[in-house]
Amino acid sequence: MSKSEEQESSKIWGAFSLVSALLAATVARKGLNASWKAATGKEPPANPADPDVAMREALLWAAVSGTLIAVVRMLATRRAADYYARSTGKLPPGLRADA
């Protein structure tokens, strides 16, 4: 593969992985907000750093939302990489196994 083809492939993969991760994070955030409201009866904290938000609530929200969104984004990126690999016959740039 020529350098320009590899750069083009890298750009395509970058855009594809970014869009899939952002969509997954958006869906996860909506589900998380609804789950939080169902479990606590309150809206999730808009800004956990706000001193008016109870420390326990801020810590719990930060831990749960951060973990869930990171996991969902990782899963979305893995699915995107799998699709990319099936479409092109090779792993995306940056995910190729070390020799």
**pLDDT bucket at 99, cuts 50 / 70 / 90:** very low
pLDDT tens column, 75-88: 998 998 998 889 88
CB 6 within 8 A of CB 14: no
**pLDDT bucket at 93, cuts 50 / 70 / 90:** confident
Domain ranges of the chain: 55-89
Residue 7 or residue 38, greater confidence = 38
**pLDDT score, position 87:** 86
Angle at 62 between CA 64 and CA 80, to 5 degrees: 60
pLDDT at 96 over 90: no
Exposure b/e, 9-36, CB count within 10 A at least 16 = b: beeebeebbeebbeebbeebeeebeeeb
Owner of token pair 């995910």? 95
